[in-house]
Amino acid sequence: MLDMTNGLLPGSQSFGLHSGYRWLIPAVSTSLMILEYLLARHILHDTRQTHDLRETAATFGVALVKAPIRALTVGIVVVPFVLVYQYRLFDIPLNSAWAVVALFLGTEFFYYWHHRAAHGIRWLWATHAVHHSPTKLNLTAGIRLGWTGLISGNFLFFLPMVWLGFHPLAVLGMMGVNLGYQFFIHTQLAPSLGPLEWVLNTPRHHQVHHASNASCLDKNFGGILIIYDRLFGTFAAHPADEVLRYGLARPLTSYNPVYIAFHEWIAILRDLGRAQGWRERWRLLFGRP
């Protein structure tokens, strides 16, 4: 059996948390969401711009089901990661700064292209649309994630990192860091971060990404960094003369977590039933949303 701990950070045996601390992340996250809501009431004196309590309740419903699905997904995804790792080109232990930096930049690079594809390929969008469905941008949007990532094949985008020689747990761990950072940028209350806006994906950049304004669609795909958006022409600054509208271009009005999770798959099946010929069916599945 392949040793799943070989090649991690020195002294590290896994990226998992001790079972006694598994409650810590959801507890801290929920506390930050409550704090954001209270700050919105204090700063804006009106939370209608930032929060919809029915929408928040629906998001928690989506997140509660997502938690066990995520655990199951990781267990399944480890299998192809381990299989690919057996045919790796190199061995890249994380015992030097350059290796950790390479892991970080590489994971960010493949996340950028995965995220960009999720907006451009309907099969992937069917899962990712769940995350873009909230009409209010706040920290709870960071936990409204689709249930069908395994079906969409999101993990396939990160297999090249394992093939190059990064340990599967190292790649999964860095993906976790990437997604963990993104939780904090789902807010309207953060100010501009000055020079950091040139390098980091900040709340202002992510507000653009979640906006359904025509000038904001398909922009700012980065995870932690914004540099790949600048390099590949998908960066858009926060517009100074527009009020940003959040949610899908065709707003989703349901508060049913199950419908939220499957609404785009339902639309795909409906469109396939009306399609004429395999070319149109292919376009409906893998063309632009």
Cα–Cα nearest to 226, from 214, 236, 211: 236
pLDDT the model gives residue 8: 36
pLDDT at 263 (0 to 100): 98
Tell me what pLDDT residue 82 has. Answer: 96
CA distances from 185 to 10, 133, 207 (A): 31, 16, 8
Comparing CA positions, the residue from 254, 51, 47, 39 lying closest to residue 137 is: 51
pLDDT of 18 reads 52
CB within 8 Å of 176: residues ≥ 6 apart: 15
Predicted confidence at residue 20, as pLDDT, reads 54
Mean pLDDT across the chain:
92
Per-residue model confidence (pLDDT) at position 55: 97
The residues, any chain, with a CB within 8 Å of residue 273's CB and separated by 6 or more, are none
pLDDT given at position 134: 97
How would you classify residue 138: left for phi > 0, otherwise alpha for psi between -120 and 50, otherwise beta? beta
Instruction: Judge whether 4 and 82 are in contact, CB under 8 Å.
Output: yes
Q: How high is the pLDDT of residue 44?
A: 85
* pLDDT value at residue 24: 83
Among 178, 170, 29, 184, residue whose Cα is nearest residue 115: 178
pLDDT digits (tens, 9 = 90+) for 148-166: 999 999 999 999 999 999 9
Segments of the chain with pLDDT less than 70: 1-21
- The per-residue pLDDT for 25 is 83
Nearest partner of 230 among 201, 204, 210, judged by Cα: 201
